[in-house]
Amino acid sequence: MVTDQQVRRLFKLVQTEKNFGIAAMKAGMDEKTARKYRMLGKLPSELEKRHIWRTRKDPFEDAWPAIKVMLEVNPGLEAKTLFEDLQRRNLGRFADGQLRTLQRRIKIWRASEGPPKEVFFTQVHTPGQLGQSDFTSMNKLGVTIGGQSFDHLLYHFVLTYSNWETGTICFSESFESLSEGLQNALWKLGGVPQNHRTDCLTTAVQKTSHPDVFTRRYQDLLDHYSLTGSKTNPSSPHENGDVEQRHHRFKRAVDQSLLLRNSRDFADRHEYERFLRRLFKQLNAGRKERFLEEQAALHRLPKHRIDACKTITTTVGPSSTIRVNHNVYSVDSRLIGERIKVRLFMDHLEIWYGQKRADLLPRLRGEGKHKINYRHIIDSLVRKPGAFDNYRYRDDLFPTSRFRIVYDDLKKRHSQRQATRQYLNILYLAAKESETAVDAVLRMMIDKNIALFDEQVEALVKSSEPLPVVTEVRIPAVDLTCYDQLLVEVAS
């Protein structure tokens, strides 16, 4: 069989050889064959007939008209779904191995007769024109704080021209998180782009039936920074493509940095935040030239930030609690019946009364939760010990696991009434003296199996004698070379 390479060699030799037969011989073909290709002026591959006929009977020939109708009505139907439907309606006719044949047939139909596919248009980015932001979950990275799992989100901000990026740790897609994250990004950036785009966050974007595009609070935030807001269409993350792509790349960079660090645990949140800031700095270092172009085109920042909080006015109930954003918090019992202002920030609440901040509380994540500080209500509980056993939020009144162990131990050795009184006296001591000191005494007494009494706990807390130090458990690193030795012994 003559190849394309032989015919090309023939065409080249004809230009130099005077005898055509010699040229054909050098090209490795018969002279008659060589004359045929010279006359046609084409390569063998160009003369081949395309294989367009079927080598076997189409098993879906009879069923295809019905399948085609179903695809025209609902183009999103998958081949596997249609194949399983055919198998149900025609028992024993179609074997599992014929699924691939149907998939190819449907793929060809979609490419030749199916509905038009969505086209994505590459955009030209202008310096200082657009910043995109979005929230992304960081939970899969397995970060821990002090050995405890640290579930969190990251508010991620990206300039589309230079890909300069920064972020803020947060715990929900609330407006407070959006406001705090956006303002942090702008002040870190040192300027304001012309436009800010986010997806259809309920905290920023109104429902489609609403006459306004954005919520009042988000529009006020945009106006303060002279930003023009824009949003993506529903279920269209590609419209926020820069920040969506940076989510993936940034989390991969975090994961790689954690591997190099050889630990995913941090002493506290501040250490983790410093780790992220260093990583952002490293990533942005490679975008310096385009960032300088972008920075020159940014607008000036306003004179000050605006509070990234929501202010709520409420009355403290008779149980010394307030309900904020569908969660319950305790406050000082002195405020029962008083009107207070609650300033709801991204990760904490401020309790204000009489133009003074009365308390600072950590914000609960999600809804339907509660946070009761025993210090707020212990005075009343000591006077009303009978209310403790069936108190709705009783589990919040055990500051550490040792307090719970003590309460359970007291119930075993005393009546319910006496056990409750003794435990509340210990809790009162923790509130008035020191929770840390009381917890240390309880640890020592539990470790030494000493019978617990409230008077004894109080005496030890107020004693000047030092308590035994906590036993530090050290687990040596496993020597894996012993397993290698076992393999050597088995092999020998």
Say if residue 468's pLDDT is above 70.
no
**pLDDT-based confidence at residue 340 (cuts at 50, 70, 90):** very high
Q: Give the C-alpha separation, 79 to 102, whole Å.
A: 7
Residue with tokens 């149900």: 88
Residues 6+ apart with CB under 8 A from 311: 341, 342, 343, 344
Percent of the chain with pLDDT over 90: 51
Indicate the average pLDDT of the chain. Answer: 88
Say if residue 360's pLDDT is above 90.
yes
Say if residue 8's pLDDT is above 60.
yes
**pLDDT-based confidence at residue 55 (cuts at 50, 70, 90):** low
Average pLDDT over residues 67-77: 87
pLDDT in tens, 403-451: 999 999 999 989 999 999 999 999 999 999 889 989 988 988 888 888 7
Angle at which helices 79-89 and 64-73 pack, to 10 degrees? 130
Instruction: State the pLDDT at residue 235.
Output: 64
pLDDT in tens, 28-45: 989 899 999 888 888 888
Say if residue 124's pLDDT is above 60.
yes
Q: What is the secondary structure of 471-483 as a DSSP string?
A: PPP--PPP-THHH
pLDDT in tens, 234-272: 766 666 677 888 899 999 999 999 999 999 999 999 999
